[in-house]
Structures are given as C-alpha cells and as structure tokens.
Amino acid sequence: MAANYLPYDPQQMLLLPEAIQDWLPDGHLAHFISDTVDTLDLRAFHARYDQDGPRNQPFHPAMMVKVLLYGYATGVFSSRKMARKLHEDVAFRVLAAGNFPAHRTIRDFRAFHLQELSQLFVQVVRLAGEMGLVKLGTIAVDGTKLNANASRHKAMSYGHMLKAEAALKVQIDVLLKRAQQADTAEQSEPETDIPAEITRREARLAAITAARQRLEQRQREAEIARGRGPEDKPRGGRYKREFGVPKDQAQENFTDPDSRIMKRAGGGFDASYNAQTAVDAAAHIIVAAELTNCASDAGELPRMLRAVRDNLRRLPAQVLADTGYKSEAVFEAWADSGCDLVVALGREGKRTPNFDPGRSPRTVAMAAKLQSAAGRAAYRRRKYIAEPPNGWIKNVLGFRQFSLRGLHRVAAEWKLVCLALNLRRMAVLQPAESG
C-alpha cells in the first residue's frame, strides 16, 4: 500500500493572508528585539527626517533600528549581508515587514545615526535594570583588543617614512626636470605621462608626510605627559632621542590613522583598538562600553566608572579589575567614592611586588586587601564576570574586526555591538525573570 503523506503543494496559493509575526515561534529573538525597540525613545532618529517635510519618504527608523540590532545580535555586520538577508531570512523579513532597503541605505543609516545608536545602549542598560538583570552590587572591568578596519600592509614605520620621503622628493625633482625638457626627451626616451607620475608621487609624499607629522605630534604629547619639555636635550638614559622624535619602529596606518599597532593574542601585531567593558555580576549585562586607541588599560578605570554612573545614575558597590588598571592616583581619587575597588597589583601566579608606603599608601592598602580572605574571594570572581561577554562577542557573534573607521565611529560601533549582546542576554533571561 502506498504511503499516505501529509499534503504538500508548493504552488498552492494562500486563500487568506497570514500575519507575518506568525512566521516565527513565540520567544524568538526577533520578537524580543522588535518589542524592545517599540518601547525605546526614538525621537532623535525622527528628528533627522522631520526637517525634510512630508514629501520625503525614508524608511521608518524603528524598522531600520530593528534590522540593524538583529543583524549585530546574530553576527551579521555587513550592510550587504543584511540587505541579502532581508530577502532570504525569515526573521529579517518579519522585522522589515515588507521593506527591502538596499545595502547603501542600511550603511548610510548606520553612519548617519551613530550617535543615536550609542544612546540606545544607555536606554537598554536602564531597561535591563528595570527587569532586575542589573544589580550594581559587583561589576568587573576588562579590555579586549579588536582589529581595526585597516590593512596591516597599509602601514609604515617612522624610519621607513623618512627614507620614503627623501626618495619621493628626489623622484619628483627628476620628473620635474624631465617635464621641462620634454621636447627633447620624447625623442630618446619611452613615452611617459610625466604630469600623472608627478601627481601620483606628490600624493604619496603628502600622505607619508601627514602620517609622519601625526607620529611626531603623538610623541610630543606623550613626552610632555611624562614631564619632558621641548628644551630637554638627549643625554642618554631617560632621553635617548630629540624631543618629539618617535622610535624608528613606531608605525602609522594609512587606512585608519586613528588605529594603533597592538600586540595580538598568540603573537604578532595588528592595527587595533582597545575595547573596554564594565559587566554586572547579576546576569553578565554590559553596563558600560567605551573604547580607546591606547593599548594600555592604565587610566581607563575612572572613565569606565564615570560611564557606569552616567548610564545608571549610581556607582556599583564593588569593582573588580586586573593589574592593568592599577594606579595610585586612581586609588586616591576614588577612595571616598563609596565604591570598593579590588584591583590586582601583579599577574596571577607571580609574586606581588613591594610598594613604598610613603610614596604609594593606597597601593599598599590595596595589597593588604588582596591578601585578606575577603579580598581574595572577591577577586577570584573577576574572570567569571568580566571575560565571558568578550568571549561571546568574538566567538558567538563573531565580531573580531570593526566595520567602520575613525575613533569616534568605532567607539559608536562598539556600543552597538554591546547593545546587541545585551539584547541577546535579556531575551534569554527575560522569561525566567518575568515568570
């Protein structure tokens, strides 16, 4: 007897239209993101379009925000891939509700509304607090290096810049002389578009000169910050080079000049940014997300604490951080803040160095705290709190390189990534909390 299959007719037309929301099961991440965005204040997005009047018909900002957030929350960061998903992926189609913005539209919307998207991060953090997912009892601060949208082959060291500048100047002088003698040179030399060659080399020279000047300016600022003045001459030991002269190995990237060469995990160096997160212990919600182009974490702790206070209008009871954040000045400045700092003073498994009580009394007090049973128990929680979100961003979302360029744009994209991760966490934890 032939098998009795369930009806299957791919060409069958639906007699009645379906609700697109029914295409996805209850509890799907797309539903949660859609419902969450509907509760957010999007007036800043609408304000950009109100001035164009009723004749302008852009895509609705709520729809664009939902598509962007769902894309980042599911590891789709490219505007081209998002545009393709709008045709191929059910969740994207549900969120877009019959709209199909082109990849340029998605790209431009993200670029034009970076500030507004950053502000949504704060709104979602406060929403997580209202859901009971943020307690601010203990937070942990950590940094992670992420690749810039820049090719490692589009960088040049300071020493190479000096040589390239000299070589290009010689080449330009030679080409200018050839141009002056073009009438006679054309008879004996191969045909060359001399003006185009001059323009190409001048543009290259200008780019290298600008990069060299940026390196020198950063070097001057760094030396002034360390207490050196322009009049301090090299004398060996502390000052080995003239004021404002970088090391020959110092590099600048031409693709994204705001990026910096940073050490890569496992060895090697890349053009990168140092992304900072403050993570609440209750549900691993990121309550502050900042970014710097300095490889060192030193000096970032006050910035992160101020960000937490701005986002949630209060400070956490306790803050955990690794040895990269230790600073006598920071310990002194935050001693009376009511926030209990627990900051490592050396690497795990290594002997803690001795500190002079006269010069570093707060650091000595921190060393004593870390030797106590309560201090050790608190610091042991740091890895469990701080490191999972960075791992989820890199390995679950797959975000290892920024799409945008420039410090301010990259900082906004980092908030967008952390916002997307928070929404994923909230979508998973929300049913248990509400139940």
Q: What is the mean pLDDT of the chain?
A: 86
* pLDDT for 91 beyond 60: yes
Beta strands in 117-268 (DSSP E): 138-147, 155-157, 251-253, 260-263
Q: Is the distance from CB of 126 to CB of 312 less than 8 angstroms?
A: yes
Q: Is the distance from CB of 282 to CB of 134 less than 8 angstroms?
A: yes
The pLDDT value recorded for residue 9 is 75
pLDDT, tens digit (0-9, with 9 covering 90-100), for 138-194: 999 999 999 999 876 677 777 766 777 777 777 777 777 777 776 554 555 555 566
Q: Can you read off the two tokens belonging to residue 132?
A: 């009971």
Domain boundaries in the chain? Answer: 20-112, 135-150+260-415, 154-253
Q: Can you read off the two tokens belonging to residue 238?
A: 């502390």
Q: How far is CA 228 from CA 233, 241, 299, 329, in A?
A: 9, 12, 20, 20
In this prediction, residues 81-106 reach a mean pLDDT of 95
Q: Let me know the angle formed at the C-alpha of 403 by 399 and 407, rounded to the nearest 5 degrees.
A: 105
More confident residue, 55 or 102: 102
More confident residue, 220 or 154: 220
Gap between the Cα atoms of 303 and 277, Å rounded: 11
pLDDT category at 330 given cuts 50, 70, 90 is very high
pLDDT category at 435 given cuts 50, 70, 90 is very low
pLDDT, tens digit (0-9, with 9 covering 90-100), for 14-41: 666 677 788 899 999 999 999 999 999 9
- Report the predicted TM-score, pTM, of the whole model to 2 decimal places: 0.83
3-class SS of residue 366: helix
In this prediction, residues 208-234 reach a mean pLDDT of 75
Q: Cβ contacts of residue 66 below 8 Å, gap of 6+?
A: 30, 33, 34, 37, 95, 96
Gap between the Cα atoms of 234 and 244, Å rounded: 11
The pLDDT value recorded for residue 182 is 63
The pLDDT value recorded for residue 434 is 42
Domain 135-150+260-415: assigned CATH number: 3.30.420
pLDDT, tens digit (0-9, with 9 covering 90-100), for 316-327: 999 999 999 999
pLDDT category at 268 given cuts 50, 70, 90 is confident
